[in-house]
Structure 1
């Protein structure tokens, strides 16, 4: 792995238990375009460190009925979703109107520090006690539905899943990788990265399996899993916030309050804050790495038409018959 100080600890290959090492030795592996090596576990590709975090999470995490778990693929609006839902569920404890006086936590703390990343926390601190978090506990994960801890699947806790169009997600991940591991990606052509993406061989991939598992779960149990898209969040942020509030049972959220949440959590607002321009997370990752453009359709600045068509053909094939459509 690159020695760059911006690389988060959970993308490294250190501090592994013997049990994890033994499991890893038996798993299929591939060289990644963000990391030196990835390993396939339960049909998904992971770094060694994240695999350790997932295994610990599966073994130790006990869901509570009141839990709220935000799920995304990497680079699918995670930072924004964390900010929005944190502001929403804590609006009585931290009134969004207080943001004008600089008192709101989102003005001085990166969203990733306010909403713990399950497998990342379990990699960093295997004995971390999630029961100490105040209720409702708000967490996030990239873990596939198949690999969620059994307590999450069996409890009535709420899951909000945010999906982003695949070309934009890929391009965001491509640039993210260049920031995090420049040495690893320097000589890795984007054509090869597109090929790997379309084979499902990237961290957390395949994209389609991750999305479709939660898509079908939302259709089968709409009271437990809410499926939203990054694009509808961008186009109708206020309406989507109200959908999430209704799903979570947050009670009535007035229009003025919704507008305040939208403003507080906007890309322009969050990306301009010092904590998100100069700060670092405990994992070592620079907070500015989470804010690039946040645009819909931004893939056009990076992908050629021919590479875009390769992704489009793959996605059309993989999502055929699912009822889930991705327009350009």
Structure 2
């Protein structure tokens, strides 16, 4: 099985990929945490916070002037498509991924047509996979501690360790004041309010998107998303 990680919007995926019927697992996250994560990533890449001021970057994020376009539109594309093609697109909330890893490992195994046998579950295979793919395990692999990497001898501009920071839910509270929180929450509500299958939790302490009563998550894609 080949795995491919990307931040490309659904509308820009190669036609050959869509027509192939390959399985797509889409991970979404609280927009506030997404912003903080992407800001830290940019700071680390530029190695100078002054080059990426938080306030200016926040305005750009809210206005959609970011890599791969507005985050909310990105989510809407995949969620709408997943509702039409649930057998090929699985939509995941990162929060649920963290809170219910064992449950969602089984869900993803079923989604890709490789369910665990009772014997495998009894032998602790699911728990072993969850442990191996945890943030602590992956971030401490030697290959992910390096400051440089290469593919076929060609240097990669972004060091491997840049993709790992905290992997914590709600870290936005350490960076966003009430004004910024309310601005993002307002955009989130406006963008998602007409999508009936998305439940919006707009409280002051959390705001994440999940499929109503049916939020499926999985650990494997942790290796393809920023651990921020």
Both structures adopt the same fold (TM-score exceeding 0.5)? yes
Return the offset for 1:259. Answer: 0.4
Indicate yes or no: 2:177 matched with 1:304.
Answer: yes
Question: 3-state DSSP class of the match of 1:228?
Answer: strand
> 1:270 and 2:144 equivalent?
no
Q: Deviations over 1:125-167 (max 9, x none)?
A: xxxxxxxxxxx22112111111111112222211111111110
> Does residue 1:238 correspond to 2:112, yes or no?
no
Q: Partner of 1:141: helix, strand, or coil?
A: coil
1:260-316 Cα offsets, whole Å, 9 max, x none, are 011111111112222222352321322111110000111111111211111111111
Q: Which entry has the higher C-alpha Rg, 1 or 2?
A: 1
Q: Distance in 2 between matches of 1:153 and 1:250?
A: 21
Match of 1:314 in 2: 187
Matches of residues 255-294 of structure 1 in structure 2 within 5 Å?
A: 255=121, 256-282=124-150, 283-294=156-167
Equivalent pair of 1:160/1:226 in contact (CA under 8 Å): yes
User: Distance between the aligned counterparts of 1:241 and 1:305, measured in 2?
Assistant: 36
Are 2:114 and 1:250 equivalent residues in the alignment? yes
Give the match's secondary structure for 2:167.
coil
* Residues 39 and 52 in structure 2, CA contact (< 8 A), matched pair in contact too: no
Q: Check if 1:325 corresponds to 2:195.
A: no
SS of the aligned residue for 2:4 comes to strand
Tell me the secondary structure at the aligned position of residue 11 of structure 2: coil
Partner Cα separation in structure 2 for residue 274 and residue 220 of structure 1: 41
**Using the alignment, how far apart are the partners of 2:112 and 2:52 within structure 1?**
42
Runs (4+) of structure 1 exceeding 6 A deviation are none
2:22 paired with 1:149: no
Larger RCO: 1 or 2 (CA < 8 Å, sep 6+): 2
Contact 2:101/2:130 (8 A) holds in 1: yes
Q: 2:58 aligns with which of 183, 194, 198?
A: 194
User: What corresponds to 2:89 in structure 1?
Assistant: 225
Q: CA-atom RMSD, angstroms?
A: 1.5
Structure 1 residue 187: deviation in Å? 4.3
Asked whether the 8 Å contact 1:280–1:287 carries over to 2, the reply is yes
- The count of aligned residue pairs is 192
Counterpart-to-counterpart distance in 1, 2:51 and 2:163: 23
CA contact (8 A) 1:163 1:211 kept: yes
On the 8 A contact 2:106/2:115 being kept in 1, the answer is: no
> 3-state DSSP class of the match of 1:325?
strand
